[in-house]
Structure 1
Amino acid sequence: MAIDTSPSQVATSALQAIPFGSIIGGPLKACIEAQAMAAQTSWKFIQEVGLNTNPETGQREAINVSFQFMQNGHMAQLNVPLLTIVPIPYIAIQDIDINFKANISASSSSVSEKSSSSAIDAGLEASGGVKVGPFHMNASMKANYSSKKDSKATQDSRYSVEYTMDVAVKAGQDSMPAGLAKVLELLGSSLDVSDPDGTLEVSERTLSLNGNNVTLIATYKNGSGLFDPKAITIDGIEGNIDGDNKVFKLSNPSNYIVKAGQKQVTVTVKAAAAEQPAAAKG
């Protein structure tokens, strides 16, 4: 009896039917989706933690952390962008290992058995007698016949299919993109130590009139370290904003008080010196 090859064919078909696309593509797709979620989480963190919307202009501004400390016997204030002192979550998948193992076994066995037996026993038995002279003879005859035939056929076919898959994903804090690193570098350079009450500076404390008026330039940084020329005032004098400065034209000899926030500076304008009389001729 020929060996049945159908189990082998079934096993081969089972191997061909394994969904390799789903087995390999499924974990890869999940990793890509996880990476996209990580990027969205980073962007959401930057917007919710590091940025704020100015209610007046509607512009997004970096949130600064300000605190005061003692420096050289004076109280100073440190202003630093929040994004530069907190870690930004930027998780990236570094390695993906997919290990797949398929174990398919098939077996077929066939057993054929045939046996036969026969027995013949022949004889003749007759009952009768013949007497010849002083002799007497009896004869008997017996005959039988038997035959036996056995046959056995056995067929056994087995197959099994087993496959396992191990997926290992390694992720960690990745280096930031070049654009984000540059932004944080710029924010880091904006770190500033300022006076909590602001800083007011003027071009000169004492001015002399050499004509109709003299020019005074004033600069003011508020407690947050920002230039605020609009806050600079002199009572009775209008000034013009020029960039980060405010320019005043002073025409009368007097003492002028320049104010901004909690700061003030006194500027003295003196009259022009009288011309010296010509030396007498001898």
Structure 2
Amino acid sequence: MPNLVPELNSLDFNVYVGGPLQAAIQAQTAASMATVNFIQEVGFENDGDPATVDSLRYVDFQYKKSVPNPHFGKSAADLAAEGLPPSTDTANTYLENEVEIKVPFLTMLTIPSLRIDEVNIDFNARLSSTETRNVSSEFAASAELGINYKIVNFKASASYKRNTSQGVKVDKTYNLGVKVRAVNDELPEGLSRILDMLEDSIAAVA
């Protein structure tokens, strides 16, 4: 039986194992850069001037809100004592106010934060050897007959050749399976704190 160790040593494991790992690292780097680009493109107003800082993008909401009328039931004398005009509404229990809310756009979206959680590489190499033996035979014959009155000449020749060759044939079968599991990871601590501060900046202006 042949020694298959040299055949195994000839396998380039840097390609079969290192290749998928390198691809996973590049994918993780691309995912991180996608998060950065998403924040820059979506969360900020680009003014086209690299010398100035881009302003944060806000979304404005306007709606009507009913609030208790603080002057309900007051008399004209009460209004005058408080320095309020006589036209102040004192008849309605509730008043409608126009309310405007400015919300940072980033706080309304799910920021992509993809992380490769697990990489499984299954590499199987199957080497099988087969001993081969080839035998070939060659046979050749010739004959000559000559008649010249009383003299008869006969010549014959024959040859036989047998060739035998043997060797070893190695069959190689490679199977490579890569399974990647990616999850939407939690936001980094710094980015999470920034979003918390942005949420605190949300204010309603009546």
The residue number in structure 2 matching 1:81 is 104
For the 8 Å contact 1:14–1:161, the answer to whether it is kept is no
Q: By how many angstroms is 1:154 displaced? A: 6.9
Please tell me whether residue 42 in structure 1 is matched to residue 42 in structure 2: no
Matching residue of 2:175: 164
Q: Please say which structure displays the higher CA radius of gyration.
A: 1
RMSD over aligned CA atoms reads: 2.7
Which structure 2 residue ranges, 5 or more long, are not aligned? Answer: 67-95, 136-161
In the alignment, which residue of structure 2 is the partner of 1:106? 129
Q: Is the 8 A contact 1:69 1:76 kept in 2?
A: yes
SS of equivalent to 1:170:
strand
Shift of 1:60: 2.9
1:68 to 57, 62, 69: 62
* Structure that is richer in helix per residue: 2
Could you state the TM-score of these two structures normalised by the residue count of structure 2?
0.65
With a CA cutoff of 8 Å and minimum separation of 6, indicate the structure with the bigger relative contact order.
2
Correspondence 1:1-282 to 2 at 5 A:
5=1, 8-9=2-3, 11-53=4-46, 58-72=52-66, 73-108=96-131, 155=166, 157-195=168-206
Q: Deviations over 1:176-231 (max 9, x none)?
A: 10000000010011111113xxxxxxxxxxxxxxxxxxxxxxxxxxxxxxxxxxxx
Q: Deviations 1:140-189 (Å, cap 9, x if unpaired)?
A: xxxxxxxxxxx996746332111111001111211110000000010011
Provide TM-score, normalisation by structure 1: 0.48
**In the comparison of the two structures, how many residue pairs are matched?**
150
Among all aligned residue pairs of Structure 1 and Structure 2, give the percentage whose two residues are the same amino acid.
29
- Matched position secondary structure for 1:176: coil
Tell me the CA shift for residue 107 of structure 1. Answer: 3.1
Deviation at 1:59, TM superposition (A): 2.4
Supply the AA of the counterpart residue of 1:170.
R
Give structure 1 stretches of 5+ with no counterpart.
113-150, 196-282
Q: 1:21 to 1:70 in 2, by over 3 A?
A: same
Superposition deviation, residue 109 in structure 1: 6.3
